[in-house]
Amino acid sequence: MPSQSATDSFTTQWLSDVEMPLANKFYRNHNFRGKARRHDPCMVVRNESNQIIACGSLRKLTDSQLLTGVAVAEEHRGKGVARLLLSHMNEAYDHSTFTFPYQHLIPFYQSLGYIVVEEAGLPSAIVDRFHTYQKQGRDIVIMHYAGLS
């Protein structure tokens, strides 16, 4: 069920498996690397014209899940859209949720309940993906969802 933002006419919605191509079209149209996969929870934010303006998904792994593909259309950045998206996605977060934000986004993710963690003791699926992304030259860190206090 879409939910209404208090300040704008943006709505959030979990996509069904058959709607996943809509997320991938959004990523392609806005030149993002993200890819939504069937059976992985994917949420979008739509504007008043019902166009997708932001997207994020939770990649299900063996013993964890990875918040990935978080993207906001350029013309909607700086308007609280990412915060709206991630605040609504948190209903699906648990103790096994991780993300790999760029260094400059650490304070933003901390404000949403994530903490920076070291690799030691983390699930291998998380560490392996992190190293793959680092090798691509991304200036990222591993963050773990600890919840909001």
CATH number at residue 127: 3.40.630.30
Helix (H, G, I), strand (E, B) or coil at 93: coil
Query: How confident is the model at residue 34, as a pLDDT?
Result: 82
Planar angle of CA 134, 85, 104, nearest 5 degrees: 35
**Residues of the chain whose pLDDT is less than 50?**
1-7
Query: How confident is the model at residue 8, as a pLDDT?
Result: 58
> What residues pair up with 115 in beta bridges, in sequence order?
144
Q: How many domains does the chain have?
A: 1
Write out the residue range of the structural domain in which residue 82 sits.
Answer: 3-145
Where are the strands (E) in the chain, listed by range? 3-4, 11-14, 42-46, 52-60, 65-72, 97-99, 114-116, 143-145
- Which candidate, 99, 112, 105, 111, places its Cα nearest to that of 142? 99
